[in-house]
Each structure stands twice: as C-alpha cells, then as structure tokens.
Structure 1
C-alpha cells in the first residue's frame, strides 16, 4: 500500500490526490464559468450552472486550505540533483503565485455573488452569509478580477505543465513521475518502465 504522507524522498498519496483534485476542479470551474456566462435567461442552466459553480468553488476553498495545511505539516521531497537553482526558485515562486491567485479568485467570486446582499447556498446544505455588500461597482469590479485572474491561472498552469513535461522528456528525471505515483524517489531513474 502506498504511503499516505510525504517523505524527504517522495510525495505521499494524500499530497498527490490533493494536487490532482485541485487541478481538475480548477479546470472544471474555469470551463463551467466560461460556459455559463454565455447562457441566456431562457436556458434551463441559467440558474443551475451558477449554483454549481459557486458550490464547487466554495468546496475548492476548503480543499485549498486543507492542501496548504497538509503541505505545512509534511516534509517536502528534496529537489532532484538535475534541478537547476533557477528552476527551483521559479517553481517555488510559481506555486506561491498560484495559491495567491486561486484564493484571490475565490474571494472575488464571493464578492460577485454577495454584491446584492444575498448569501451563497453551498449545494443546498448551508448558506455562506453575505458579509461584504454594497461596495461601489462590487459585482462588476470583482467580476473583472475573477475573470482575469482565472486567465492568469490558466497561463501559470500552462507554464507548470510545460515545466513538468520538460523534466520528463528532456531532463528525463522523475519530477513528473513523483506527482503521478506515490513513493517515487528523487533519484534519476528511467521512466520507461
């Protein structure tokens, strides 16, 4: 059975699952968001799509907090010998920026949804109250921030994917394998198994 926790040599199953859960949810939310703003009032999805977008978005906020807490309480696998110093620094900066942008997207989404003083229903289970309302142009300004940060996240994720593919196909190291298979070590092993 794969290890649940990280070691200094490899990522554990929980870190890997949280990584991919966030990634798939972010892509899904961006796709849903771009689709739902094109819906007209007569579409059967006009009210349902935003309900799902908001509910999933707020669930993502909880997962992001859990992921950050998990990251802070687990060792991070050491970098590979093939990683250059600038690559490590760029990766750390990109991860920090990605977390910042995701939380900013969530906050701006909250501000859009609560601009008129209504709370946000989360899957119909409970309602998150509208604590900040009535700011000048709140929905429009927060909407612009929400959209452009989402586009920025897509660009940053594209850079992240390119970096992982570069490590896998050009450097031929285990950077990508470590995020796909729990317990993969930091050694430069062949990934043609």
Structure 2
C-alpha cells in the first residue's frame, strides 16, 4: 500500500486527506447555510451548530497535518502536456484554497468565542476562548466566515472543473492520480 507521495502520483494519505476535507467542507457549507435560518424552536437550533463547530474544530489539526504532509512529501510533477499558465494557475488555486480554509477556520473560532465562552468539541472537552470581547467580533468574523466559505466553494468548483477538463479533454493523469496511487513513472 503506497502511503507516501512520489513524483508522479499522490499516496493514500494525501488522497484521503484531500477527499475527506473536500466532502467535509461541502457538508459544513451546506449545514452552515441551512442553520442560519433555523428558528429558536427548531429541534436543530442547538444541535446543528454543535456539530458544525465540533467538526470545524477537527479540521484545524487536520489542516495543520495537511500542511506538514505537503511540506514533507514530494508534490507530483504536472503532466508533460500542461502549459506554464496551467501550472501557475494550479499553484495559485491551491495556495488560495489553503488560505481561504485557514481564514474560515479562524473566523469560525472567532464567531463562537466572541462572548468569551469556549467551544465544546463533541462534549469531550472545551476549547477555550483565547480571543474574545472585541467590539463587533461575532458580526465581523461572521461576514468573513461567510464570504471566505462562498469564495472557497467557488474556487473549489473551478478546481474540480479543471480536473475534469484535464481528464476528459486533455486525457492526462491529473484527476486519476488524486483517485488512487500509481506505480512511480516518469512519463506522465
């Protein structure tokens, strides 16, 4: 089982983190948009934010591990047919996706801790409110959280369309190598 990346494909750890975070973020975005309209008497009024916050908190160490893993592992080289602008665009897109995710996680934390209360992580323990009491903290962090999430979803859609374009039109290994590891080759 190929856990590590090599120069022509990603390993299972990078693949699992990529798809796990992608599915989780889409789910959190859907729940986040849905829960802001919940009424006080809805049975989901407290349950949905509890799960949204707890899962969001789990993404913080996962994102840090993802940064570490990306730093420690080789990034597969782009297939030979990719033009310079495609390589630059891919790099910028990945960087912006990581930055937006970090902004979403920090702003979510700031929304939840604005009143000085910690955040329960699945009821196991409480993550303390380190930063709180800033005037308008919840409102400002809420706007940042919302717009960063919308921007990330739009950018992720562009990212997905690019992968599909490479698979269906260019017929290269861009998408396939994020679905399963392949044997090391140098002819991609």
TM-score by length of 2: 0.96
Tell me the equivalent position of 2:152: 153
Q: Distance in 1 between matches of 2:31 and 2:12?
A: 28
Tell me the equivalent position of 1:172: 171
Does 1:33 find its partner at 2:32? yes
Does 1:115 find its partner at 2:105? no
SS at match of 1:175: coil
Q: Once the two structures are superposed, what CA deviation does each residue of 1:80-138 show, in whole Å capped at 9, x if it has no partner? A: 10111110111011101110110001111111000111000001111111111111111
SS at match of 1:127: strand
Q: Distance in 2 between matches of 1:87 and 1:54?
A: 36
Q: Distance in 2 between matches of 1:71 and 1:87?
A: 20
Q: Distance in 1 between matches of 2:38 and 2:144?
A: 21
Q: Distance in 2 between matches of 1:143 and 1:186?
A: 46
Q: Once the two structures are superposed, what CA deviation does each residue of 1:11-30 show, in whole Å capped at 9, x if it has no partner? A: 11111001001101110110
Consecutive unaligned residues in structure 2, runs of 5 or more: none
Change (3 A) 1:163 1:134: same
Tell me the equivalent position of 1:99: 98
Q: Distance in 2 between matches of 1:158 and 1:8?
A: 26
Q: Distance in 2 between matches of 1:104 and 1:154?
A: 13
Tell me the equivalent position of 2:18: 19
Q: Distance in 2 between matches of 1:50 and 1:103?
A: 19
1:115-154 paired onto structure 2 within 5 Å: 115-154=114-153
Tell me the equivalent position of 1:78: 77
Q: Distance in 2 between matches of 1:140 and 1:174?
A: 44
Consecutive unaligned residues in structure 1, runs of 5 or more: 189-193
Q: Distance in 2 between matches of 1:91 and 1:168?
A: 15
Q: Distance in 2 between matches of 1:147 and 1:9?
A: 36
Change (3 A) 1:186 1:44: farther
SS at match of 2:153: helix
Report the aligned-residue RMSD.
Answer: 1.1
Tell me the equivalent position of 1:52: 51
